[in-house]
Amino acid sequence: MEKVHNVYSDEKIYKKLLEDKNITVEDALENEMVINMGPQHPATHGVLRIVLRLDGETVVKAVPELGYLHRGYEKMAEDMSYIEFIPHTDRLDYTATLCNNVAYVLAVEKLAGIEAPKRAQWIRMIVAELARIAAHMIAIGTFAMDVGAVTMVMWTFRERERIQEIFDRFAGARFTTSYTRLGGVASDLDDVAIKMIRDFLNSFEPGLKDMDNLVLHNRIFIDRLEGVGVLSKEEAISFGLTGPNLRASGVEYDVRRAKPYLYYNEVDFKIPTYPEGDSLARYFLRGDEVRESVKILYQCLDKIPHGEIMANDPKRVLPRKTEIYSRMEELIHDFMIINYGINPPVGDSFFSAENPKGELGFYIVSNGEGHPWKMKIRSPSFCNLQVLSKLCEGAMISDVIAIIGSLDPVMGEADK
């Protein structure tokens, strides 16, 4: 400023120049620029806003601003019964709705002490893994598209479309599934659905190979991502990252292995990790996870037993519709559960499940009434985004896009 002042020695002219916003008075080369990225920006995966301070093309500081999709689900949960909240979990991570459904009912079942029948639990595993594949397909596709490989998104969405058709078959909806119920699942996986899943898996593996060929030998893609946004093991842990982002930094932590829920301890799968911790590792890790999910799905389809899909617990689990219309007892129970809720015991519990983005946790405080006293959603995208400002510092402005894509946030979940 001092230098500039000398050039425009007349105080009056200088003041006037400062007032005019169209003229740059300072030296353009020694100037730091603040630019605003988002919330309406296609590469921010939703309504994420980042304020960047730039020195030339280098990012000096990046501040993410959240809250553009804040709908107050935690407040709404306090005003509705446990069953009523299931459809709202679809809107958290809208790329993997079934994973959210499963995680939520497991959290409530832990609090209320309900146990779903065996078949229901295996079905939950199958649908969660299908949703994981679908979510990773979006993650891989949009990430590759962000850095310039547009073909990828077409191919991944083609695979995802087939998974959505399977969802449509057993849940009756493609996106907003709301498939799980307290004590079971809404409808059984019939033979057609199981055949659809098998057909999909058989043709999916060649498709994965094609996708690999597309990027593995692509110099532009690899040079663009290698060494960008490197995160060490210690930093990843201290920033509370979970899911693929943590495993890409070399930490072998997966809730499915650390605290097995459902029947994950009965299936055989590996936890892929990469020591590099850069954007490329995060990209490859998602591909590896999809392969593990395929492995899990094959085992589930072999092991799934026959039997009931809803628990027999009349005071807390909704009866079937046919029984409600024909029998008095069931009608009363249905009325009580819908109007007064399931009344879990007084206390608080924390349950977390492995979602495609990381660890989704529900901390529920019950005071013995039909609706939760407090429900906190520990959403993985929220804490994964926290590391963004650290990764962006010192990176080029075009790398910011790559880093956001590699972290794969979903704003529906981060903003709750």
Partner 1 sequence: MEVKEFIVQKVKECVGEANVEVTDAFGDLSITVKKEKLLELARFLKENNELEFVMCKDVTAVDWATRKKRFTTVYHIYSFKLNFTLRVKVNLDEEPYQVESVAPIWESANWYERETFDMYGIEFLNHPDLRRMYMPEGFQYYPLRKDFPVMGIPGSLPLPQKPE
Binding site for partner 1 (CB under 8 A): 66-67, 70, 72, 74-76, 78-79, 110-111, 237-240, 242, 251, 253, 258-259, 347-350, 352, 359, 361, 363, 365, 373-374, 376, 378, 382-383, 386, 415-416
Closest CB to partner 1 among 192 and 258?
258
- What's phi and psi for 188, nearest 5 deg? -80, 155
Closest CB to partner 1 among 111 and 304?
111
Reply yes or no: is the peptide bond before residue 117 cis, omega within 30 of 0: no
How far is it, in rounded angstroms, from Cα 317 to Cα 210?
A: 45
Closest CB to partner 1 among 108 and 215?
108
How far is it, in rounded angstroms, from Cα 166 to Cα 184?
A: 19
Q: Kindly state the smallest distance separating residue 348's Cβ from partner 1, in Å.
A: 8
Q: Kindly state the smallest distance separating residue 332's Cβ from partner 1, in Å.
A: 29
Q: Kindly state the smallest distance separating residue 130's Cβ from partner 1, in Å.
A: 27
Closest CB to partner 1 among 162 and 378?
378
In three-state secondary structure terms, 364 is: strand
Q: Kindly state the smallest distance separating residue 68's Cβ from partner 1, in Å.
A: 9
How far is it, in rounded angstroms, from Cα 49 to Cα 399?
A: 16
Contact by Cβ (8 Å): 352, 260: no
Q: Kindly state the smallest distance separating residue 66's Cβ from partner 1, in Å.
A: 6
- What's phi and psi for 354, nearest 5 deg? -85, 115
Contact by Cβ (8 Å): 385, 48: yes
Closest CB to partner 1 among 308 and 348?
348
Strands of 58-65's sheet, edge to edge? 32-37, 49-55, 58-65
Please state the length of the chain: 416
How far is it, in rounded angstroms, from Cα 383 to Cα 274?
A: 20
Closest CB to partner 1 among 56 and 67?
67
Q: Kindly state the smallest distance separating residue 187's Cβ from partner 1, in Å.
A: 29
How far is it, in rounded angstroms, from Cα 38 to Cα 40?
A: 5
